[in-house]
Amino acid sequence: MTTRKQLIAEVMTDLKQYNESGLIDSISLNRWVKNALVKFGGNVMPRVDKVLEVKNGMAELPENFYALFLAAKCTPTSSEIIHGEASHDVLQSIYQYKVRTEAQQEWDNLSHSYKTGDVTEITEKLFFHDGRTQVKVSYGNPQLLKLTRGFKKERLCGDNLNLQKQLTNSLAYEMNIVGDYLQTNFNKGFIYIQYQGLPVEEETNDLLIPEVTGNYVYEYVEAELKKKIFETIWNNGDDDNVQNKLMYWKAESVDKFSNAMTSAKFEGMGGRWWKDMAANHRKRTRIYQQFAQGK
C-alpha cells in the first residue's frame, strides 16, 4: 500500500512550480491526508495496540488513534537487550518503531517467577534509531482504567471494555481523553491500549492509504490534497490564476469521495488488506479476551 509520504511526494511533483515557489506547506499536507482518511471511519480502520508512557498525568495518543477499545495500566517487569548496546535507560529512549507480542503469564510469589496463568504479560520490542539496538521490554499486572465523569463516548469503540467493566466493578485508576492526550489520575506509569485507528506501516509508522477496488481512496485523497492546496493559495492571494484549478479539484474531490466511500464500505470488512490486518490483530490480542470474561 502507498504511504502518506509517498502520496505527498507525488502531489508535490505534480505541483512542482507551486512547491518550488514555497506555496505548499508540508505540515498542512500531513494533516490533510489524515483528515481525508478519517472521513471513512471504521471502514478503513483496523484494531491495533500500543504501550503509552504517562508523564505528569498525561500520555500522548498515537497519531492514527480514532476510538478506544481497551486501556489498562501496566507495570514494567523487565528489559533485555536483544541486539546491540544501550547506554541509557531503555524505557526512556527514543525508538524507531515497535512490534508487540504477548504471553500469558502469572506471577508465583513462592518461586518469585512467572508461570502459565490468566494474568497477561505484555512484551514489546523496541528498535532504536541507530539501526542496531533492539530491546525487549515486558509489562505485567494490567489493570483496566475507569472512564472519568463526562468522558466523550464518541472516542470509544462500541464494544469498549473499560466502559463495560466499570459498570460492574470498582476500578482504582481513572482516565480521560482530551484532544490528542490521555489524562490519568496517576502521575507516571505505562498504559497498554487497544484502539481502532488508521492503518500504518510498521517500519516507519507512517499512515497507509488503504487499497480498495479502483484505487478510489488514493484518488480521493490526492484530489482532496490538490483542492486544499489551491484553496489555500487562492485564499492567501498568492496566485489569482488558480481559480479554475481550484474549481476543478473541488469537483474531483466530491466525485472521487463518493466512489471511494462506496468501495470502502463494500470492501472494508472483506477486502484482502483488511483480512490480513484483522488476522494479525487476532494473533496479537487473543489472550486479552480474559478481560471480557471477567478474569
Is the Cα torsion angle 54, 59, 64, 68 positive or negative in sign?
Answer: positive
pLDDT > 90: what percent of the chain? 45
Max mean pLDDT range (163-177, 181-195, 274-288) = 181-195
Q: Which whole number is the average pLDDT over 176-186?
A: 95
Judgement on whether residues 39 and 155 belong to the same structural domain of the protein: no
Domain with 185, as residue range(s), is 47-197
- The count of other CB atoms within 10 Å of the CB of residue 72 is 22
Residue 89 carries which side chain, given as an amino acid letter?
Answer: D
Residue 273 CB burial class (10 angstroms; 0-12, 13-18, ≥19): middle
> What is the reported pLDDT for 274?
53
> What is the reported pLDDT for 132?
59
In this predicted model, which residue has the larger pLDDT, 92 or 127? Answer: 127
> What is the reported pLDDT for 254?
96
Q: Which whole number is the average pLDDT over 40-50?
A: 87
Last residue of a domain, which of 197, 227, 260?
197
Please state whether beta strands 174-178 and 146-147 pair in parallel, antiparallel, or not at all (unpaired).
parallel
Buried b (16+ CB within 10 A) or exposed e, 109-118: eeeeebeeee
Instruction: Encode pLDDT of 55-73 as tens digits.
Output: 999 999 999 999 999 998 9
Question: pTM for this structure?
Answer: 0.74
Instruction: Encode pLDDT of 78-112 as tens digits.
Output: 666 666 665 544 444 433 334 344 545 444 555 44
Residue 221 lies in a domain: yes
Mean pLDDT check: name the lowest of 118-127, 182-191, 251-260: 118-127
> What is the reported pLDDT for 12?
96
For cell 492503518, what's the residue?
199
> What is the reported pLDDT for 139?
77
> What is the reported pLDDT for 117?
43
Instruction: Encode pLDDT of 132-157 as tens digits.
Output: 566 677 777 788 899 998 888 889 99
Beta strands in the chain (DSSP E): 2-3, 47-54, 58-60, 65-83, 95-108, 113-128, 134-144, 146-147, 174-178, 181-184, 189-197, 208-209
Judgement on whether residues 145 and 214 belong to the same structural domain of the protein: no
Judgement on whether residues 93 and 129 belong to the same structural domain of the protein: yes
Judgement on whether residues 114 and 158 belong to the same structural domain of the protein: yes
**How confident is residue 39, by pLDDT bands cut at 50, 70 and 90?**
very high
For cell 474531483, what's the residue?
252
Judgement on whether residues 36 and 59 belong to the same structural domain of the protein: no
